[in-house]
Amino acid sequence: MSKSKIIIVEGAQGAGKTTITDYLRNTVKHTNLYRLSGVSDSSITGLEKSKKMYYDLLDYMKNMENLDINLLFDRTFFSEENYCRLGKKDYSFTEVYNDLVDKFSKLDFDIYYFTLYLENENLYEERLKREGKVEPAYAKFSGENSVLQQREYLKMADELKEKYPHIHVYKIENGKDLAQTTDELNKILGD
């Protein structure tokens, strides 16, 4: 029997994470979906809150090993690192992030990390027209912010792929027809 999967879906605001994670939740058997929003405290005290949250999350993942349940995450500590690298927080998360990724990579799961991106970066402006939605100050939705996030996520994916060859790292262009994207995901995941 194959190991259960951990599937992490990351990407900029407007890259299509909700659509893709909803699709995966409904098509990959025995999958629990978790949507994380991170810690809204961008001050230095937010670092301690983030550390606790993400180390607890890692403990939770570890406790789920060998239960024949796939874990699907729409954002995790990779988002925290992305926001910090872009200067959206008053602290550096890199030391914690590196430790988390190292521990994460050793979990007894088949681990998949997907970065969604839009080849046509101009699509972000259109996708981010979300009426009536209130965002925290550090995560204001704008095409410009999404482009910066996307570029950093793509760098992070390259770093992961180079340092952790046993994590299945994929960059998925999500500006095309949804059926093409889902076909690509099905081939990768084998479901």
In this structure, are residues 61 and 103 in contact, taking their beta carbons and an 8 Å threshold? no
What would you report as the CA-atom Rg of the chain, rounded to the nearest whole angstrom?
A: 16
> How deeply is 59 buried, as exposed, middle or buried, from its count of CB atoms within 10 A (0-12, 13-18, 19+)?
exposed
Q: Architecture of 5-189 per CATH?
A: 3-Layer(aba) Sandwich (3.40)
Residue spans of the domains in the chain: they are 5-189
162 has a pLDDT exceeding 80: yes
38, amino acid identity = G
In this structure, are residues 17 and 11 in contact, taking their beta carbons and an 8 Å threshold? yes
> How much is the pTM?
0.91
Q: What are the pLDDT digits (tens) for 75-105? A: 999 999 999 999 999 999 999 999 999 999 9
Q: What angle separates helix 77-85 from helix 143-163, to the nearest 10 degrees?
A: 120
